[in-house]
Amino acid sequence: MKKVIDIEERIPSMREKRRKKTNKKFLFVFLIFIVALLAILYFQSPLSRIKEIAVSGAILKNSEYYEEKSGLVVDNPLWGFRTTSAEDLLMKQELVQKASISRKWPNKVKIEIVEWKTIAYLEDRGLYNLLMENGEVFPGDALLLESDIPVLNNFGSAKVIKQVSAQLLKLDSDVYHLISEIVFTGTEEDPEKLTIYMDDGYEVRAILSTLSEKMDYYPDVTAQLNGLEKGVIDMEVGTYFTPYSKIYGLSKEDDEVVEEE
């Protein structure tokens, strides 16, 4: 037989449930009010404005350059810009390969720059321009030349510059860092001839289109020469070695002694 519960017995429990439900609603509304109030106070305070813009990865240009190109300004609203839009502005700069912008609590913006790598310097009447890994050439301004990057001389054609940049990127790293200077010596008969001066004292004659392929053998060739006498390594067709003494009539070491005297 079912037990009959008087409605008066249920009223206290119903009231308690209603009270708890009302309290939860009030707490929820109160929290929303507090969050909204804090948000208003935050956006009205100096904390919501950019206090510092930090740039990392800037080598070829200074930090101020990339800060200006991003369109970001100290004391502007921290949330008043889209990071993707600022990144797009930086990506339009020819030196930039990649750009990333992020907000750092409480009021800092971080700009991370990845510049195109410099693979060679182009000598032009005493000035040195930058040859980048994407094949583009940029003014070097008054920067300090890195010792382990080759200098290119007599490269006047944009097409030839693109070709040599592609070849340099294929070179073995150890061989690449041994190259001191590459001179374009092409003629109508031999339009791709190169003369390469190495840090270890050798001179290499090569062809532009096969530069990386032939230079891969450079360490093996010099190892067989045992360093007894420096000279010219001809890699244009086969591989031939001629000592400086047979070309210039004396060894490079003797030549240096004569010059000192």
pLDDT tens digits, residue range 55-93? 999 988 899 999 999 999 999 999 999 999 999 999 999
Q: Which helix (H) or strand (E) holds 112?
A: strand 108-115
Contact 164, 182 (CB under 8 A): yes
Q: What percent of the chain stands above pLDDT 90?
A: 60
Asked if pLDDT for residue 35 goes beyond 90, the answer is: no
- At 154, is the pLDDT very low, low, confident or very high (cuts 50, 70, 90)? very high
Measured CA to CA, the distance from residue 25 to residue 95 in angstroms comes to 57
Identify the pLDDT of residue 10: 55
Contact 121, 130 (CB under 8 A): yes
Asked if pLDDT for residue 252 goes beyond 70, the answer is: no
Residue type (1 letter), 21 = K
- At 22, is the pLDDT very low, low, confident or very high (cuts 50, 70, 90)? confident
The distance from CA 55 to its chain's CA centroid, rounded to whole angstroms, is 13
Q: Which residues neighbour 155 within 8 Å (Cβ) at sequence distance 6 or greater?
A: 122, 161, 164, 184
Asked if pLDDT for residue 258 goes beyond 50, the answer is: no
Q: Where are the alpha helices (DSSP H) in the chain?
A: 7-44, 63-70, 83-91, 158-170, 173-176, 211-215, 218-225, 244-248, 252-260
Measured CA to CA, the distance from residue 221 to residue 103 in angstroms comes to 54
Measured CA to CA, the distance from residue 44 to residue 84 in angstroms comes to 25
Q: Output the six-digit token pair for 188.
A: 């109508």
- At 250, is the pLDDT very low, low, confident or very high (cuts 50, 70, 90)? low
Q: Which residues neighbour 60 within 8 Å (Cβ) at sequence distance 6 or greater?
A: 95, 115, 118, 130, 138, 143
Provide mean pLDDT across the span 35-56: 86
* Sign of the CA dihedral with 9 first, then 15, 16, and 17 last: positive
CA angle 189/193/199 to nearest 5° reads 160
Question: Among 129-133, 175-179, 210-214, which is the least confidently predicted range?
Answer: 129-133
Measured CA to CA, the distance from residue 66 to residue 93 in angstroms comes to 9
Identify the pLDDT of residue 41: 77
* Three-state SS at 48: helix
What is the residue-averaged pLDDT of the chain?
86
Question: Among 5-9, 174-178, 182-186, 236-240, which is the least confidently predicted range?
Answer: 5-9
Q: Which residue has the tokens 């210039």?
A: 248
Provide mean pLDDT across the span 184-203: 93
Asked if pLDDT for residue 14 goes beyond 80, the answer is: no
Condensed to tens digits (0 to 9), the pLDDT of residues 88-110 reads 999 999 899 999 999 998 899 99
All domains of the chain, ordered by start, with CATH? 48-115 (3.10.20.310), 118-260 (3.40.50.10960)
Asked if pLDDT for residue 26 goes beyond 50, the answer is: yes
Asked if pLDDT for residue 256 goes beyond 50, the answer is: no
Percent helix / strand / coil, the chain, rounded to 5? 40, 25, 35
- At 251, is the pLDDT very low, low, confident or very high (cuts 50, 70, 90)? low
Identify the pLDDT of residue 259: 38
